[in-house]
Structure formats: structure tokens, C-alpha cells
């Protein structure tokens, strides 16, 4: 078996293999003889049919199986002899073609195939010691608690049908299409279709001028809303451009907001309003700590990303890219929002995730290498602590979560995040961190 390994572009490695016809025939003969010992063929007792008869019945299957065995053996040898650290499974093609399809050997002929695969990069972590960072902190003041109370009140607000005209604070459900306006010509744009889309006037969810254009509208009205997209709008072909939305008002609803007093607090399961405020204050303190840590970690990752540039396996980026897109779709589904809520064509939304996917893969590989070099590992005690944290965060579902993590495969899913946290703390322990007080509202925006 002749195996040649060569470097391709970047991290790609090419593996070219030629298996001599004699080796192919020997493997096939052994396979046919083994199959004949157990084969069930009409007219013969089990295992007594001649090899030639068995061969005629199962030749295609055996040839394909032999090809797979030879491929696996050749790639395993190539990996071992050339010390290849493959990042994903190789792509295998028969002969000199690059077409996918079934691969099989042929009696009396050399078996040729080639494979291409990516390898993990060799990483020498840089600038992860002595980082200069700023930890932004804020206190859970009474003002923060009041904001939390107002947000809770909004979450508990219900809506009922309204006969009159829409006003600020009302929820309006709309359907229609957005059009680019250029020299008097109107052209529908991708991502501009709205179907049963609810919006609370004054929420600031949509571009400036849109929600204001819904004021005084009534159920059944058909109206045009003229807007101008912001200059920094994410869709370049719309940024700074005028547009018109031709809408139908499906529904107008007014909000019904009950005051948060002792009675309301008791209905929510608290002893009274003071106890609710105490819980909200403690929750705000935890949120502020979490937001502070997130900002600090992002600063750290930004500096690491700037200092460590290396090729990243494209296959890993593709996998991460797909995972990010699935997460975005799940978020829309959870919030019961249509694809139009992305505010851009689907193709553009998918493309916009590419840089983030590459960054996450690069930083993941970097953090893993820092862990390896510094012998940072995840112990059973670390996983126990992580499971307990998950249980405590789950509230009434804590017992169910506890049972979930009793399965080793579920428990092991926490190993990656735990290792990342340990490496993060390792780097932060070596950093110079300056403390800075910031506005609590600004810091809490980190979690939105």
C-alpha cells in the first residue's frame, strides 16, 4: 500500500493512496471465504454453498465493504506515520475524481483513492498573561429596584381589544410589505414583509418614525407609513434610504396595567411588596455581578483575539456557524416572531454570523491550548459544583434537573463550559484589573 501525504492550502492535507491489485484480491478472497461459511443459499445447507456461488450473490456488497476497510486502514496509517491531528473526518474520493459517490474495489485492479482533510493548527498562545482590564461595577440601588418593578409591571400587563384609535402604549398588530422608494419608484425589499406582526407603540422596537406612524390608526385601516432607514442600518442597500410600508391594521389593543401593591405581590407568591422589592434587589445584585463579569470576559477575549491570529479549520467554522443560526431561529420561535423580525434577508442574516463563528472557534482552540499547556482540567468535584448550580437556578424544576444530570452523558455536557470558566479565571488571576463604577442601567443593558 503506497500512501503519500502532502500539504494543501492552509490547514488542508491531501492523502493519496494506491493499494496493489494483489492486496485487493487477497482481501476479497478472505471476505468471500468468510461469508461462505455462514451464507444461506437456496439449495445448499447453511455454510455449504461454494465460494463461487456466494461470490455471485454478494460481490457488490463485499467490494464496497473491502473499499471502506482499506480506506480506514490507509487513513489510520497516514495519520500515525505523519502525526496528523485531524479536525473532522476526511472527504474521500475514488481515483482522481473529486465527485462524491459509492466507492468499491475491483478484482485484479489497483485500488486508488484520495482524501483531503483539515488538521488542527499548531497554536502558541500569546499575550494571555498580564492583560490590562477594567472591571465595571454598579450597586443595586433603589432606582434599580424601581426599574425592575416597572419592567415586571410591563411583563404582567395584559391587553384587550380597543375600539378607538391607537395611542402610545397600545399594541397594534399589522400586516403588509415594505418598499424601497427611489425617484418615485417603489420596489418591495427582502425582509420587508410583515404578517400578523404585533408592536407596542412607543417601545422603540422598530426604526424611527414607524411606530409614530401607527398613532391614531384603527382596526381595519389601510395606511402607508413613510420612514427613512438609519444611516447605520445593518442592511447596506437600505441604510439611509427612504421607504414606504403599506399596512393593514389587524388589531388594536390597549394595555391593562395593575398597580404593584401588597395585594399584587401576594398574588405573585410573596409576603408583600417589601418582600418582592427585597427579592428584586437581590436579583438585581446578581444580574449586575453577572453583567460585570461578562463585560470583563469580553474585554479579555477581545485582547486575546487581537493577539492570536492563526488559521482555523473551515469545517469547525461551518459547524459553529450552523449552531449559531439554529440558536437564532430558536430565539425567534421562543419569542413567536417571524423571520421578518430579523430585519434583513435570511441570506444576509446567515452571512452576518460568519465572523462570529470564526472568532468563537479560534478562541475555543486558544483556550483549550492554554488549558493543556497549564494542566488545567475538569475534575469530578468541578462537575458536581456545576450540576448543583444548574439545580439551584432551576427553582421548582430543580429535582427534574438533578435527575437529568444523573446520566453521565448529560453530566459530561457541562465539562466544556466548566473548563472555559476555569481557563478564564486562570487568565484573569494573572491580569491587572482596574475597578470602575458605572451606571447600573448601562451595565444591566449587557444582559438584554
pLDDT of residue 416 exceeding 80, the answer is yes
For the chain, what is the total number of helices (H) and then of strands (E)? 13, 11
Domain architecture of the chain: domains with CATH: 2-118 (3.30.70.1050), 132-141+262-447 (1.10.3120.10), 158-256 (3.10.50.40)
Count of CB atoms situated within 10 Å of the CB of 114:
19
pLDDT at 96: 66
Which whole number is the average pLDDT over 45-52? 77
Least confident among 345-359, 386-400, 406-420: 386-400
- Nearest CA to 387 among 413, 405, 410? 405
pLDDT of residue 87 exceeding 90, the answer is yes
Answer with the residue of higher pLDDT: 40 or 246. 246
Q: Which residues contact 225 (CB under 8 A, 6 or more apart)?
A: 209, 210, 213, 214, 244, 245, 247
Q: Which residues contact 434 (CB under 8 A, 6 or more apart)?
A: 132, 133, 134, 135
pLDDT of residue 98 exceeding 70, the answer is no
Burial string for 239-254 (b: 16+ CB within 10 Å, else e) reads: eebebbbbbebbbbbb
Q: Which residues contact 426 (CB under 8 A, 6 or more apart)?
A: 370, 374, 376
Q: Which residues contact 238 (CB under 8 A, 6 or more apart)?
A: 180, 189, 229
pLDDT at 99: 62
d(CA 408, CA 404): 9
Which whole number is the average pLDDT over 397-403? 85
Q: Which residues contact 135 (CB under 8 A, 6 or more apart)?
A: 292, 295, 296, 433, 434, 435, 436
Q: How far is CA 188 from CA 182, 208, 210, 255, 397, in A?
A: 11, 20, 17, 33, 47
Which whole number is the average pLDDT over 103-109? 90
pTM for the predicted model, two decimal places: 0.71
* Number of alpha carbons in the 13 Å side-chain half-sphere of residue 104: 11
pLDDT at 92: 92
Which whole number is the average pLDDT over 335-356? 82
Q: For 14-44, how does the pLDDT look when each residue is reduced to its tens digit (9 = 90+)?
A: 999 999 999 999 988 888 888 878 777 777 7
- Nearest CA to 112 among 26, 30, 23, 7? 23
Helix or strand or coil: residue 296? helix
Which whole number is the average pLDDT over 276-281? 88
pLDDT of residue 305 exceeding 90, the answer is yes
pLDDT at 156: 79
State percent of the chain over pLDDT 90.
55
Secondary structure letter of residue 398 according to DSSP:
H
d(CA 354, CA 93): 28
pLDDT band with cut points at 50, 70 and 90 for residue 97 = low
pLDDT of residue 46 exceeding 80, the answer is no
pLDDT at 366: 97
How large is the C-alpha radius of gyration of the chain?
31
Secondary structure letter of residue 86 according to DSSP:
B
pLDDT, the chain, mean? 89
Q: Which residues contact 250 (CB under 8 A, 6 or more apart)?
A: 173, 174, 175, 196, 219
d(CA 3, CA 236): 50
Degrees to nearest 5, angle at CA 440 with 434 and 442:
90
pLDDT at 447: 75
Which whole number is the average pLDDT over 133-142? 92
- Nearest CA to 288 among 140, 436, 133? 140
Beta strands 132-137 and 12-19: pairing type?
Answer: unpaired
Which whole number is the average pLDDT over 217-221? 93
d(CA 336, CA 330): 9
- Residue 87 contacts residue 118 (beta carbons within 8 Å): yes
pLDDT band with cut points at 50, 70 and 90 for residue 441 = confident
Least confident among 55-69, 301-315, 354-368: 55-69
pLDDT of residue 340 exceeding 70, the answer is no
Amino acid at each position: 500500500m503506497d500512501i503519500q501525504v502532502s500539504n494543501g492550502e492552509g490547514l488542508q492535507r491531501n492523502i493519496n493512496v494506491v493499494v496493489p491489485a494483489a492486496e485487493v484480491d487477497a482481501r476479497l478472497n478472505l471476505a468471500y471465504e468468510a461469508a461462505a461459511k455462514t451464507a444461506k443459499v437456496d439449495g445448499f445447507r447453511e455454510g455449504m454453498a461454494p465460494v463461487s456461488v456466494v461470490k455471485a450473490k454478494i460481490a457488490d456488497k463485499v467490494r464496497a465493504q473491502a473499499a471502506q476497510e482499506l480506506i480506514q486502514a490507509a487513513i489510520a496509517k497516514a495519520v500515525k506515520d505523519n502525526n496528523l491531528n485531524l479536525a473532522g473526518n476526511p472527504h474521500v474520493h475514488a481515483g482522481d475524481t473529486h465527485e462524491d459517490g459509492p466507492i468499491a474495489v475491483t478484482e485484479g485492479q489497483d485500488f486508488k483513492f484520495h482524501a483531503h482533510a483539515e488538521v488542527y493548527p499548531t497554536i502558541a498562545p500569546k499575550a494571555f498573561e498580564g492583560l490590562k482590564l477594567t472591571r465595571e461595577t454598579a450597586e443595586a440601588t433603589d432606582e434599580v429596584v424601581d426599574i425592575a418593578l416597572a419592567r415586571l409591571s410591563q411583563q404582567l400587563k395584559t391587553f384587550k381589544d380597543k375600539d378607538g384609535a391607537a395611542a402610545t402604549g397600545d399594541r397594534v398588530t399589522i400586516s403588509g410589505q415594505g418598499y424601497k422608494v427611489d425617484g418615485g419608484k417603489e420596489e418591495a425589499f427582502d425582509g420587508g414583509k410583515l404578517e400578523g406582526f404585533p408592536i407596542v407603540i412607543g417601545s422603540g422596537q422598530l426604526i424611527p418614525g414607524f411606530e409614530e406612524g401607527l398613532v391614531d390608526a384603527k382596526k381595519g385601516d389601510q395606511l402607508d407609513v413613510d420612514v427613512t432607514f438609519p444611516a447605520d442600518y445593518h442592511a447596506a442597500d437600505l441604510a439611509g434610504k427612504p421607504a414606504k410600508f403599506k399596512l393593514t391594521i389587524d388589531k388594536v389593543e390597549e394595555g391593562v396595567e395593575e398597580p404593584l401593591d401588597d395585594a399584587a405581590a401576594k398574588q405573585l407568591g410573596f409576603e408583600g411588596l417589601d418582600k418582592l422589592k427585597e427579592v428584586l434587589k437581590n436579583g438585581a445584585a446578581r444580574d449586575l455581578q453577572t453583567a460585570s463579569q461578562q463585560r470583563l470576559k469580553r474585554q479579555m477575549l477581545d485582547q486575546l483575539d487581537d493577539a492570536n491570529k492563526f488559521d482555523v479549520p473551515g469545517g469547525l467554522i461551518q459547524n459553529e456557524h450552523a449552531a449559531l443560526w439554529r440558536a437564532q431561529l430558536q430565539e425567534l420561535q421562543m419569542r413567536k416572531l417571524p423571520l421578518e423580525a430579523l430585519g434583513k434577508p435570511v441570506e444576509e442574516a446567515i452571512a452576518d454570523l460568519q465572523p462570529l463563528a470564526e472568532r468563537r472557534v479560534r478562541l475555543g482552540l486558544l483556550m483549550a491550548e492554554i488549558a493543556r499547556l497549564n494542566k488545567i482540567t475538569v475534575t469530578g468535584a468541578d462537575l458536581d459544583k456545576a450540576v448543583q448550580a444548574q439545580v439551584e437556578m432551576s427553582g421548582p424544576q430543580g429535582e427534574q434537573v438533578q435527575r437529568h444530570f444523573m446520566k453521565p452523558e448529560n453530566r459530561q455536557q457541562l465539562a466544556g463550559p466548566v473548563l472555559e470558566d476555569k481557563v478564564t479565571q486562570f487568565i484573569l488571576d494573572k491580569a491587572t484589573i482596574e475597578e470602575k463604577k458605572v451606571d447600573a442601567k448601562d451595565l444591566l443593558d449587557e444582559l438584554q
